[in-house]
Amino acid sequence: MDRTERFYRIQQLLEQRLSVTSDELKDQLQVSRATLHRDIEYLRDRLGMPIIWDAAVRAYRLSRGSNGDERFHLPGLWLNSAEISGLVALGELIDQVDPSGVIGAHVKPLRDRLTAILASVGVQPGDFGRRIRLVSLGNRSGSQGFFPAIAHATLTRRRIVIDYYTRGRDERLKREVSPQRVVHYRQNWYLDAWCHLREGLRTFALDAMLGVEETDAPATEVPEARLDEFFSKGYGMFSGDHALQWAVLRFSPERARWVANECWHLQQEGEFTSLGEYILRVPYTMEEELVGDILRHGIDVEVMSPVSLRGRVREAHMSAGLRYQA
């Protein structure tokens, strides 16, 4: 039997009997004394099984808790060292995405166990923080403070009252909302919610919240299909109920080498021309975010259609040119 089967067999024998001798374990597992000792050491030191050697009866047994009925459970998922390394690396990335430690605190017990297992095979988990980096650009400060309250209300399906600052209108207003989803997008946290003031779905940036009050009122439920239709049908974070349009973008051969492998939208369409250019078709409902991403490609992209989007990008380039001429 393989190592995993041996672990479960050892647990089964120790729970069925008050004590089990080394010879009995060796016979049941068909292993050498050295292999048995390695298995027991791993179960005790790495997986936390409360195995003790009872010198009085010269056998192994399980140490019971004070109430006498506590039972140890082996983890139900077995991973190799490469897979465990991947999980520990993911934990390091969480630390960098979540500097406040809100999420990291909940996965710490798992990370501690994985770290111990890695150490047993000669991998030093401390290297992950030094060797793996997630560089965050564009993240706005202040987006973490209300995360616990918002996440709790979202998961327990309770309404909240937010004191919200709308930067575009320079307006501060309290709103009662029913949280639907918490979203991490482009290094910042957002809340998709039903706004009871506007009687519609809205997206709120956590860093623009000046206060959050939890209530006992149940949240209004919005069907999953409706959320996907509203928030995901067009390009970017802010779609809404606006008419769906398709942007047709032509990228230079040089930029095409990168853009052809990028995902702008799950329903995008793309193809190369005979000249090596790349034609990208992207659905959108609100053009503000799309315009910004088009402009960052400078002269390496041309908006082919629709006319309104082409005109807006053209005006932005002309205005920038005039500013530099001044």
At residue 5, the pLDDT reads 78
* Same domain, residue pair 127 and 153: no
70 falls within a domain: no
* Same domain, residue pair 215 and 258: no
Asked whether the CA dihedral 100, 102, 108, 111 is positive or negative, the reply is: negative
Give the Å distances, CA to CA, from 132 to 3, 90, 94, 104: 31, 10, 12, 17
Q: What is the mean pLDDT of residues 73-92?
A: 63
List beta partners, residue 211.
163
Q: Tokens 């520990």 map to which residue?
A: 88
Q: What is the mean pLDDT of residues 80-98?
A: 64
138 falls within a domain: no
pTM: 0.62
At residue 213, the pLDDT reads 94
From 187, 222, 257, give the residue that closes a domain. 222
The 3-state secondary structure of 103-169, one letter per residue: CHHHHHHHHHHHHHHHHHCCCCCHHHHHHCCCCCCCCCCCCCCCHHHHHHHHHHCEEEEEEEEECCC
Phi first, then psi, for residue 164 (nearest 5°) are -120, 135
Phi first, then psi, for residue 90 (nearest 5°) are -60, -40
68 falls within a domain: no
- Is it the case that residue 132 has pLDDT exceeding 70? no
* Same domain, residue pair 199 and 169: yes
Structure tokens at 128: 């992950």
Question: What residues have CB less than 8 Å from 253, skipping those under 6 apart?
Answer: 275, 276, 277, 278
239 falls within a domain: no
234 falls within a domain: no
142 falls within a domain: no
136 falls within a domain: no
* Same domain, residue pair 109 and 160: no
* Same domain, residue pair 215 and 268: no
**In CATH, what number is assigned to the domain containing residue 163?**
2.30.30
The mean-pLDDT minimum among 102-106, 248-252, 295-299 falls in 102-106
For 70-73, the CB contacts below 8 A with 24+ separation are: 71/15, 72/11, 72/48
18 falls within a domain: yes
Domain containing 52 equals 3-62
- Is it the case that residue 82 has pLDDT exceeding 90? no
Q: What is the mean pLDDT of residues 149-159?
A: 92
Say how many C-beta atoms besides its own lie within 10 A of residue 236's C-beta: 19
Query: In the chain, count of helices (H) and strands (E)?
Result: 11, 11
From 155, 187, 222, give the residue that closes a domain. 222
Give percent of the chain above pLDDT 90.
Answer: 54
Structure tokens at 135: 């560089």
**In CATH, what number is assigned to the domain containing residue 15?**
1.10.10.10
**In CATH, what number is assigned to the domain containing residue 258?**
3.30.70
From 16, 33, 62, give the residue that closes a domain. 62
Indicate the number of domains in the chain: 4
